[in-house]
Amino acid sequence: YNSLRDKQFWPNNSSRFEKETVGHVYASSVDRQTNMIGDVALTIYAGTRDDIKKHIRACHDAILNAAEYLEVGKSLSDIYTHAIGHFQSRSLKIGWMTTVQDPYQTNLGHTIPGSYGEELDFGGTFFEIREAIRTKRIFINEGTTFKVPSTCAVTIEARLVDTDERLPNILFHFIVTFSEGKKKICANFDDIFSAMDMKYMYD
């Protein structure tokens, strides 16, 4: 798929989630007061194949490693280069995703507009807010020199594919926040993993 925002991927009554299904769950929420995004995405699997379980955990941990590497003062290109090297060392690579505003096409996430620098005018309508967020973000790619400021929020997201084509694409989306240098990684999916009986994700 190009984007999970496409209507064909919205919840519907014709799609069935079965025992061996590998699913991507995605929600793109916007806080009405601050206009800040709170995207969340993860991969769920409650099946029996150990190779898929191991693959999902490995991809989760590889993407989390990129979030942990993110620090104040580091350039986004440095973070991207580190992550790509880490992925490749584990036979993983970023799957292609449609990002119209990013000339490099492949990226690891982006800044969250309004979380740093000057206050933005998001406008009042849903369309204006969406366009402000979509066009003002700075992508984590190989060519971005922007350095992480002491107060900001950044998404770390990737759809990873393995060199073994029998294994599914894996998607996780984290948000990393800095408040005057204090870092927090928003990546706690334990309640969902527990509900899906995905013990392999937190054992």
Q: How far apart are CA 3 and CA 7, in angstroms?
A: 9
The DSSP secondary structure of 86-114, one letter per residue, reads: HHHTTTEEEPP---TT-TTS--S-BB-TT
Residue 122 has a pLDDT of 73
CB 110 within 8 A of CB 137: yes
Give the length of the chain.
203
CB 45 within 8 A of CB 179: no
pLDDT in tens, the chain (203 residues): 566 667 777 778 887 778 899 999 888 777 777 766 778 899 999 999 999 999 999 999 999 999 999 999 999 999 999 999 999 999 999 875 545 565 666 889 999 988 998 777 777 777 887 788 788 899 999 999 999 999 999 999 988 999 898 999 999 999 999 999 999 999 989 999 999 999 999 87
CB 171 within 8 A of CB 150: no
Residue 193 has a pLDDT of 95
Enumerate domains of the chain plus CATH numbers: 22-201 (3.90.230.10)
Kindly report the pTM of this predicted structure. Answer: 0.87
DSSP 180: T
Q: How far apart are CA 181 and CA 34, in angstroms?
A: 21
Q: How far apart are CA 92 and CA 163, in angstroms?
A: 6
Residue 104 has a pLDDT of 62
CB 190 within 8 A of CB 60: no
Which of 77, 42, 83, 39 shows the shortest CA–CA distance to 195?
Answer: 42
CB 79 within 8 A of CB 110: no
Please report, to the nearest 10 degrees, the dihedral formed by the alpha carbons of residues 87, 59, 160, 70 taken in order: -60
